[in-house]
Structure 1
Amino acid sequence: MEPIRIERWWPYLDGSAKDWLRHNLRQDGLPPRVQDRIAEAGGPVMDPILNEPDWAFIELDSQTVE
């Protein structure tokens, strides 16, 4: 099964979850509230929730202003 690409669910992710991810890049283990927000946005629910390309996307996104 192909992973759900972050580009598909990131626009729908809650702002507080985006902020947490941006400030905790490549953190091992995500808080349950962040996992819940990712699932609500249509993202993955099974581990690994985020892989290296996802973290690279978040890091690049954090360098731009919404």
Structure 2
Amino acid sequence: MQIERWWPYLDGSAKMWLRENLRDEGLPRKVQDRIAEAGGPVIEPILGERDWVFIETQPQLTE
């Protein structure tokens, strides 16, 4: 599942964690759960390099 499809539905606190911990290999269970709830991947690797680049380049809007 491409990140562009589920990112808009991801919980704001999970987005913030991902932005503050770019490329962190150990995603907390809560963040993994929020990604799954938004329709994202549930198997490892949850996020690849392309996903991290997407996260890094997204504007940080108030949610």
| TM tier, smaller | over 0.9
Shift, 1:29, TM fit: 1.3
Number of positions where the alignment pairs a residue of Structure 1 with one of Structure 2: 61
Alignment of 1:22-37 (within 5 A): 22-37=19-34
Rounded to whole Å, the distance in 2 between the matches of 1:59 and 1:25 is 7
Rounded to whole Å, the distance in 1 between the matches of 2:47 and 2:25 is 10
Rounded to whole Å, the distance in 1 between the matches of 2:47 and 2:60 is 22
Counterpart in 1 of 2:60?
65
Rounded to whole Å, the distance in 1 between the matches of 2:36 and 2:4 is 14
Calculate the TM-score normalised by the size of structure 1.
Answer: 0.90
Amino acid across the alignment from 2:60: V
Amino acid across the alignment from 1:56: V
Counterpart in 2 of 1:20?
17
Shift, 1:28, TM fit: 1.1
Percent of paired sites with the same residue: 70
Structure 1 outlier segments of 4+, above 4 Å: none
- Provide structure 1 residue ranges, at least 5 long, that are not aligned to the other structure: none
Counterpart in 1 of 2:47?
50
Rounded to whole Å, the distance in 2 between the matches of 1:13 and 1:22 is 13
